[in-house]
Amino acid sequence: MLKIIQALKFIFRSASYGVMLAVVLLLLVPDFRGKNISPWQIFNLTEQKPQPLSYAKAVRLAGPAVVNIYSEDIQVDPIYGRQPRKVTRLGSGVIMHNQGYILTNFHVVQSADLIVVVLQRGQELHAELIGYDTLTDLAVLKVQASNLPVIPQSSTLTAQVGDVVLAIGNPLNLGQTVTQGIVSATGQSGLSTSYLQFLQMDAAINEGNSGGALINSNGELVGINSRKFTQANSNLNIQGIFFAVPYQLAHKIMLKIIEHGRVIRGWLGVEANDSVASLKGFVIGAVTPNSPAMKAGLKSGDVVYQIDDIPLQNVKQGLDVVAEATPGSVLNFRVSRDNQQLVIPVTIAEVPN
């Protein structure tokens, strides 16, 4: 009987020590808290493997809103007796609004007699070309459908160099494909922008990717894929230089096309460079004959440092203010000329064709 009592005491004492050790471990290792782990399991825990890095969630969010676009152009041969031939172009597009508005590249649907949009769920829809903008190579299509998947968008999103991006499209008609890279350089989002001021990235873009979505790791739209860098010297093996229209600019273009059927830009009519003087802004280098600038009295050498109540930092900002002004509106240019500060009202015109 005595031996049994001693054995029980030993067991209880050992159990008490184990519980005390488990409590100490819970205090020292917070990761154990809130988990359904018995004191005895603590000693049997193995190191947990970290979850692999994946962009699958981003693709699941954005992928359904990226469509395949097939445009058909019926070309009639001028030679008598030849049958008309059908030329099909391949591209991608992004559903921007649940009312059926889709953004793509203009070169994908240029001169098309028939445009077919294929959703990722397999549904085929005929699309109408609402309008286009040659400067940014963007076009807006519209399809008649409901319950369309819309790509996630953020009005405050600004791409930065080094951001991880994913390009989604239909390269070479292989089906929806995702390529990954980073933003290599950023441009601007104003309407005066040119092709070389778009987002530059190294996510691969091939034939069929044009007009597809460039997204971030949250699945939000960063830009509309455009094309890869090309130059006259075909002997140069250039890799990893691809362009996309920034989301903010693409969204502006889309809204203007939906409203007006085209993009209406304000025009000043000057050649200019950034100011290197104490006044920030831009220096007018040349004035186009019969332009709004010449009619208002702006001259070569003028330093424009403010337009209306907007202080200028550089020439890009100044030209954006002009481009986004309504033709016919009057902007007050604050100018430094021969050590004098002048206010010159300028009536903005529309960019001539």
Assess whether 338 carries a catalytic annotation.
Answer: no
Question: Which contacts (CB < 8 Å, 24+ apart) does range 338-344 have?
Answer: 344/296, 344/297, 344/298
DSSP annotation of 78 reads: S
Is-contact 201 212, C-beta < 8 A? no
**Residue 134, both tokens:** 């040659």
Q: 92, 184, 210, 275: which is the annotated catalytic residue?
A: 210
Is-contact 320 312, C-beta < 8 A? no
Q: 71, 92, 133, 137: which is the annotated catalytic residue?
A: 137
Q: How many CB atoms lie within 10 A of CB 353?
A: 3
| CA nearest neighbour of 68 among 145, 127, 6 | 127
Give the C-alpha separation, 171 to 212, whole Å: 10
**Residue 231, both tokens:** 């130059």
Q: How many CB atoms lie within 10 A of CB 119?
A: 18
Give the C-alpha separation, 116 to 68, whole Å: 8
Assess whether 107 carries a catalytic annotation.
Answer: yes
Is-contact 168 177, C-beta < 8 A? yes
**Residue 289, both tokens:** 């004959």
DSSP annotation of 12 reads: H
DSSP structure string for 96-113 = -STTSEEEEEHHHHTT-S
Assess whether 14 carries a catalytic annotation.
Answer: no
| Residue at 189: amino acid letter | S
Give the C-alpha separation, 77 to 254, whole Å: 35
Q: 107, 226, 302, 320: which is the annotated catalytic residue?
A: 107
State the catalytic residues. 107, 137, 210
